[in-house]
Amino acid sequence: MRIVLRRGNVEIILEVGDLTEFSGDAIVNPANTRLLMGGGVAGAIKRKGGEEIEREAVSKAPCPIGKAVTTSAGKLKCKYVIHAPTVEEPASPSSPEKVYLATSAALDEAKRLGIRSIAFPLMGAGVGGVSVEDSIRSMARAFSEKGEGLEIHVIVLDKGTLDRAVTALEREGWTKVA
């Protein structure tokens, strides 16, 4: 299931699926500042893509919230993993502002790399403890500011989460395209 929403010149493709199966240019890892890939999305990326992603990421640590680093994607179908910290330490809490800063940094890194398509999970909404609604609103703020010209995917695990994210975006003025 996928829903496309637009506001201004920016479109977001929200879909139910597995982030690690994305075959576009890059996926985003909502990392910790030490770039250790233990649990949550990071753990899933490491399990599917290989330990080399974490080794490469850790060699670039620490990475503060508001910055992002890129690694290869190992065995994943995409070309890059963009690591954008949403938390200081592994399993520590995030916030809507940290989600915004991480999303913004990931978009800056995507543009620096010259990529076209990028897929995000709901940043900070897992171990970080940010609600689905606060996460997608913070992400959409960054998308509105820096997402023009990119094919932006937000991949969630189930239809209930998708519905909550779409409702939150519609309340922010995003409209369904298809």
| Three-state secondary structure of the chain | CEEEEEECCEEEEEEECCHHHCCCCEEEECCECCCCCCCHHHHHHHHHHCHHHHHHHHCCCCCCCCCCEEEECCCCCCCEEEECCCECCCCCCCCHHHHHHHHHHHHHHHHHHCCCEEEECCCCCCCCCCCHHHHHHHHHHHHHHHCCCCEEEEEECCHHHHHHHHHHHHHCCCEECC
117/98 Cα distance (integer angstroms): 23
% residues pLDDT > 70 (the chain): 99
2: how many CB neighbours lie within 10 A of its CB? 13
Q: What is the pLDDT of residue 174?
A: 98
pTM of structure: 0.97
Average pLDDT on 113-129 reads 96
Superfamily of the domain at 2-176 = Leucine Aminopeptidase, subunit E, domain 1 (3.40.220.10)
% residues pLDDT > 90 (the chain): 97
Q: Residue 167 pLDDT > 70, yes or no? A: yes
Average pLDDT on 5-30 reads 98
Q: What is the pLDDT of residue 82?
A: 98
Roughly what angle, to the nearest 10 degrees, separates helices 132-146 and 159-171?
A: 60
Q: Residue 178 pLDDT > 70, yes or no? A: no
* Residue 81, φ and ψ in degrees, nearest 5: -115, 125
Average pLDDT on 58-86 reads 98
86/65 Cα distance (integer angstroms): 6
Q: Is residue 53 very low, low, confident or very high in pLDDT (cuts 50, 70, 90)?
A: very high
Q: What is the pLDDT of residue 51?
A: 97
Average pLDDT on 31-49 reads 96
Q: What is the pLDDT of residue 13?
A: 98
Averaged pLDDT of the chain: 97
